[in-house]
A and B are shown apart, each in its own frame.
Chain A
């Protein structure tokens, strides 16, 4: 039986596209608080993922079981909840379709970024990590600036060269919502919602690692009297 499992696993690995879809969704309130949602959708690659999960190890690394992964996610979420200014943390893991959703409320952008930095440093056991030193979200007056965290593009760029072609089928979507209307924005590929209170920018993963600034955006909001 193990032979069969391996037979499937190795046959899939090259032939299936490694599609990954990320939605980085931020709702920002006038008072600086907001809600952050981060969705990872791997359902296009579920056969490949199932084949990997059926293995004991891959490329010399142990493959965790679904139970171990679930437990790891629970532990990570519990750690994330401990951060000051972070509340209403929830996570949904679907190991049938391989979709994962993290959602939390934050008191300020600083709190959110600090929590993410702490979380990543804890997970990677890397206290320095220069990719986390910059702010990828900031708000001053009526201008909101957001970019893709360098750590995200760095991690994507670590994907082996031969697999990068597959990244062209993956997408990164950045959504930002506001209480007030948007006056203008800098990203030529950005799309404004009909309500004029939300922005969406999207790029394929491959393009994003070629140009990490591809969906950066400087958004000016209509000034409130």
Chain B
């Protein structure tokens, strides 16, 4: 009995006090994706796993063949610990990586074979390094991470030293074909001073090895800062025991969830290090007020795997002041009329309902005082304009015309009539003349509409436009603007049932101006949309996403879209109404494939990672 009690006590002690992978997440992390059920990923090959964007920190090390034919199971990773992917950015540095449990170091470094042991300043912590990253192992947990100084910090210090040495301010000559025609860009000449004497060009190391060029100086500073910030992060984690778990109660609570995966996004950290951070020096009071407004702004989530679906449960949390605006937005009554205009075969649609008037009044009451505290004259002038507009404009007319509730549908691709030029050849001489002939082109069919109590206002605007141009004309039940869509197809405007609808769906305006009737979405779907909070959305992925061309998107957008490309299934999004403290969203991803849930969850984690960066 004593022995078994002792054994149990030891086991409890070990499980409570032994290192856990989540304790190696730096407190600077602003986004974390934590997979609880790592065993889900056992079967996925490492080659496949490391292709995901969220594994980018290890890609440089692993895309060298060391993962060939191996799975996560072969990599010495402990499946009883969480696998945590994290990213964070402070004013001075970025930190990214993943932490995990370790069962077999030998197997681990068979995979991470570019890492070699390095000196450790920290007792009980082993360090390994490669060209790009480090691995630190404490007890049975490891963290693979990279700490990089931000460009702005490196530039700031480099410029400061550069100019203190007597040099002129350095000018960057960013060049790219994106912005400039190559021939039109003239070389930027920068005068360089050494000891106060102007020299004709930058000194190069070969000529004057003791003097660094601007870029050599910058490289040195970047290296020095990398070491400094690496120490900062390691001291916090391994000496002071500071990590995200003990610095964020919300994250710690999230980790107690038993869902397959959890995620954590701290938007307030994102704000501090975003483009808004420049406000800090220019408008310190305003920045401080905005910072306070965003305090406590978190998105917490759970990923739940069911038989044929993955569910993402999101909870957006915010402070009282932002909460008061969001909760006012939620006051809108659902306009049932929109449901009539959503066809049951639409590939994707959404409804969105907010009370813009209430939210405007609340936002005005909160934001105007924040702006008023700022002493900058420019801000004060703009504030005066806003206050005068608020007094003089007829807000009843504005918010009765556009109340804030919107719906949209995508109805696939249909043929529309257009024209093209062809040539008629004279058989005698092969001289030719141009002919304009009718042609057909594929056109995405969309509908976008919003609720209005003042349909007379858009009608008056359309009547005026019709007087100005023949291309806008009234066709009785609807208005038509010729060739308004990409100079080829007509755009229809329907003002009916207290809705203002823009569409290129000829069938809708000519045959179904009062709605699709029995062809509209089912009562079940209509009820789901009606019962949802501020937003409801549905998309048939296989049909709606599959045809999106890559060319039109940026690389990061494509990464996001690629997650959904070639997937069958349906996505449904619904939400609660916003309360003073939070709004919940639920995204359900139903798919037909059996046994692929591990890949689907990785896809979703990857999407969230890309979005959060």
Residues of A within 8 A of B (CB): 4, 6-16, 21, 23, 41, 43-44, 46-47, 50-51, 54-55, 57-62, 96-97, 99, 125, 175, 177, 193-195, 197-200
Bound Cα distance from A58 to B552, whole angstroms: 5
Instruction: Please name the residue on chain A nearest to B553 by beta carbon.
Output: A10
Inter-chain contact B548/A193, CB cutoff 8 Å:
no
Inter-chain contact B430/A175, CB cutoff 8 Å:
yes
Chain B residues touching A, range:
35 or more
Task: Using known A-B contacts A8-B444, A11-B548, determine if residue A50 contacts B488 with beta carbons closer than 8 Å.
Answer: yes
Q: Smallest distance from the beta carbon of B417 to chain A beta carbons, Å?
A: 11
B132 within 8 A of A: no
Instruction: Please name the residue on chain A nearest to B178 by beta carbon.
Output: A62
Stretch of B159-167, B273-281, B418-426 contacting A (4+ beta carbons < 8 Å): B418-426
Q: Could you name 25 residue pairs across A and B whose Cβ atoms are closer than 8 Å? A: A4-B446, A7-B446, A8-B444, A8-B485, A10-B552, A11-B547, A15-B413, A43-B419, A43-B421, A46-B420, A47-B443, A59-B552, A61-B177, A61-B178, A97-B420, A99-B421, A175-B430, A193-B427, A193-B429, A193-B430, A194-B428, A197-B429, A198-B429, A200-B425, A200-B430
Known interface pairs A13-B552, A200-B425; 12 further A-B residue pairs with C-beta atoms within 8 A, sorted by A's residue number: A7-B444, A12-B486, A14-B547, A16-B442, A44-B420, A55-B552, A97-B421, A97-B436, A99-B421, A177-B429, A198-B430, A200-B430
Residues of B within 8 A of A (CB): 177-179, 182-183, 413, 418-421, 423, 425, 427-430, 432, 434, 436, 439, 441-444, 446, 448, 485-489, 547-549, 551-554
Which of B425, B427, B486 is in CB contact (< 8 Å) with A47? B486
Residues of B within 8 A of A8 (CB): 444, 485-486
Bound Cα distance from A13 to B549, whole angstroms: 6
Residues of A within 8 A of B182 (CB): 125
Which of B418, B423, B428 is in CB contact (< 8 Å) with A195? B428
Residues of A within 8 A of B177 (CB): 61
Tally A-B pairs: CB < 8 A.
95
Residues of A within 8 A of B179 (CB): 62
Inter-chain contact A15/B442, CB cutoff 8 Å:
yes
Residues of B within 8 A of A195 (CB): 428-429
Bound Cα distance from A6 to B485, whole angstroms: 12
- Dominant secondary structure of chain A at its interface with chain B: mixed
Inter-chain contact B178/A57, CB cutoff 8 Å:
yes
Bound Cα distance from A105 to B413, whole angstroms: 46
Inter-chain contact A41/B421, CB cutoff 8 Å:
yes
Instruction: Please name the residue on chain B nearest to A54 by beta carbon.
Output: B486
Which of A4, A9, A44, A50 is in CB contact (< 8 Å) with B439? A44
Bound Cα distance from A23 to B424, whole angstroms: 12
Bound Cα distance from A109 to B81, whole angstroms: 77
Which of A14, A125, A175, A193 is in CB contact (< 8 Å) with B549? A14
Residues of B within 8 A of A57 (CB): 178
Residues of A within 8 A of B420 (CB): 43-44, 46, 97
Residues of B within 8 A of A193 (CB): 427-430
Bound Cα distance from A218 to B203, whole angstroms: 61
The 9 closest A-B pairs by CB, nearest first: A13-B549, A50-B486, A11-B444, A10-B552, A14-B549, A43-B421, A43-B420, A198-B430, A15-B442
Task: Using known A-B contacts A57-B178, A60-B178, A125-B182, determine if residue A16 contacts B444 with beta carbons closer than 8 Å.
Answer: no
Bound Cα distance from A112 to B475, whole angstroms: 55
Inter-chain contact B423/A46, CB cutoff 8 Å:
no
Residues of B within 8 A of A194 (CB): 427-428
Inter-chain contact A46/B487, CB cutoff 8 Å:
yes
Inter-chain contact A47/B423, CB cutoff 8 Å:
no
Inter-chain contact A47/B418, CB cutoff 8 Å:
yes
Inter-chain contact A9/B552, CB cutoff 8 Å:
yes
Inter-chain contact A58/B448, CB cutoff 8 Å:
no
Bound Cα distance from A216 to B471, whole angstroms: 47
Residues of B within 8 A of A59 (CB): 551-552
Instruction: Please name the residue on chain B nearest to A44 by beta carbon.
Output: B420
Q: Smallest distance from the beta carbon of A150 to chain B beta carbons, Å?
A: 24
Instruction: Please name the residue on chain B nearest to A99 by beta carbon.
Output: B421
Bound Cα distance from A4 to B445, whole angstroms: 12
Inter-chain contact B488/A46, CB cutoff 8 Å:
yes
Instruction: Please name the residue on chain A nearest to B430 by beta carbon.
Output: A198
Bound Cα distance from A61 to B178, whole angstroms: 5
Inter-chain contact B441/A16, CB cutoff 8 Å:
yes
Residues of A within 8 A of B486 (CB): 8, 12, 47, 50-51, 54
Residues of A within 8 A of B548 (CB): 10-11, 14
Residues of B within 8 A of A99 (CB): 421, 434
Which of A10, A96, A177 is in CB contact (< 8 Å) with B430? A177
Bound Cα distance from A58 to B413, whole angstroms: 22
Instruction: Please name the residue on chain A nearest to B418 by beta carbon.
Output: A47
Inter-chain contact A96/B487, CB cutoff 8 Å:
yes
Most buried by A among B413, B441, B442, B486: B486
Q: Smallest distance from the beta carbon of B560 to chain A beta carbons, Å?
A: 13
Q: Smallest distance from the beta carbon of B346 to chain A beta carbons, Å?
A: 14
Q: Smallest distance from the beta carbon of A106 to chain B beta carbons, Å?
A: 19
Bound Cα distance from A93 to B487, whole angstroms: 17
Inter-chain contact A50/B551, CB cutoff 8 Å:
no
Bound Cα distance from A62 to B181, whole angstroms: 10
Residues of B within 8 A of A58 (CB): 551-552
Bound Cα distance from A44 to B59, whole angstroms: 44
Q: Smallest distance from the beta carbon of A79 to chain B beta carbons, Å?
A: 12
Instruction: Please name the residue on chain A nearest to B179 by beta carbon.
Output: A62
Bound Cα distance from A7 to B179, whole angstroms: 24
Q: Smallest distance from the beta carbon of A19 to chain B beta carbons, Å?
A: 8
Q: Smallest distance from the beta carbon of A215 to chain B beta carbons, Å?
A: 14
Residues of B within 8 A of A15 (CB): 413, 442, 547
Bound Cα distance from A84 to B166, whole angstroms: 54
Residues of B within 8 A of A125 (CB): 182-183
Bound Cα distance from A159 to B602, whole angstroms: 34
Task: Using known A-B contacts A46-B418, A193-B429, determine if residue A11 contacts B488 with beta carbons closer than 8 Å.
Answer: no
Instruction: Please name the residue on chain A nearest to B432 by beta carbon.
Output: A23
Instruction: Please name the residue on chain A nearest to B427 by beta carbon.
Output: A194
Bound Cα distance from A199 to B439, whole angstroms: 29
Q: Smallest distance from the beta carbon of B413 to chain A beta carbons, Å?
A: 6
Bound Cα distance from A14 to B428, whole angstroms: 40
Residues of B within 8 A of A12 (CB): 442, 444, 486
Q: Smallest distance from the beta carbon of B409 to chain A beta carbons, Å?
A: 12
Residues of A within 8 A of B419 (CB): 43, 97
Bound Cα distance from A59 to B548, whole angstroms: 14
Residues of A within 8 A of B430 (CB): 175, 177, 193, 198-200
Bound Cα distance from A96 to B482, whole angstroms: 14
Instruction: Please name the residue on chain B nearest to A98 by beta carbon.
Output: B421
Bound Cα distance from A175 to B551, whole angstroms: 35
Bound Cα distance from A90 to B485, whole angstroms: 32
Inter-chain contact A11/B413, CB cutoff 8 Å:
yes
Residues of A within 8 A of B418 (CB): 46-47
Inter-chain contact A23/B552, CB cutoff 8 Å:
no
Q: Smallest distance from the beta carbon of A96 to chain B beta carbons, Å?
A: 7
